[in-house]
Amino acid sequence: MAAGTMGYKVQETVKASIQLTWYEQTATDVRRHHDTLSDNTGRMLSDEWYSPYLLRVDEAPEHLQPGATWSIDYSKTKTTSSKPTTMSNQAETWTVEGVDVVTKVPAGTFNALKITRTDTADGSTKTQWFTRGVGKIRELTSQGHKEELTSYNIAQ
């Protein structure tokens, strides 16, 4: 992240690997800047940077209306332990599918912002449900990938 930018780092286990992600929170959105993926010995498997950022969720008033649509462009630079560094330009269209959508996941029942992100290059989609103060509670992709929140703790 840029010098002087306040952010936070999230660690999650992905299969047998550890992913670290760096986020920045602004007044209206959460921005993803950097990911690293390492095996359980600490060896880096991949390193990804997003410029200017990859949008995680946007709660600007004009983006909290059902049917709201907007586009985002960014570049992704990826280095892996086995391949040369690649850089690609990405474009996504975001659509608000619903606001305060009652959503049940293993961690409980929430009112969520439901958005769909469409990759303009290949048409693949990622539908996500976000709850303020908790984060992403569900994700479904057009490739059949599914994530659901199973538990959470709110820092005091």
CB 110 within 8 A of CB 137: yes
Which residues, 6 or more positions from 113, have their beta carbon under 8 angstroms from its beta carbon?
57, 59, 64, 96, 98, 99, 100, 101, 129, 130, 131, 132
Q: What would the pLDDT profile of 55-82 be if each residue is shown by its tens digit?
A: 999 999 999 999 999 999 999 999 998 8
User: Could you state, in order of their start, the residue ranges of all structural domains in the chain?
Assistant: 8-148
- Give me the pLDDT at residue 153, please: 85
Query: What whole-number distance in Å separates Cα of residue 104 and Cα of residue 110?
Result: 6
Averaged over 10-33, what is the pLDDT?
Answer: 88
pTM recorded for the entire structure? 0.86
Q: What would the pLDDT profile of 36-48 be if each residue is shown by its tens digit?
A: 999 988 899 999 9
Query: What whole-number distance in Å separates Cα of residue 112 and Cα of residue 137?
Result: 8
Position 2 pLDDT exceeds 70 = no
Look over the chain and give the mean of its residue pLDDT values, rounded to a whole number. Answer: 91
- Give me the pLDDT at residue 4, please: 63
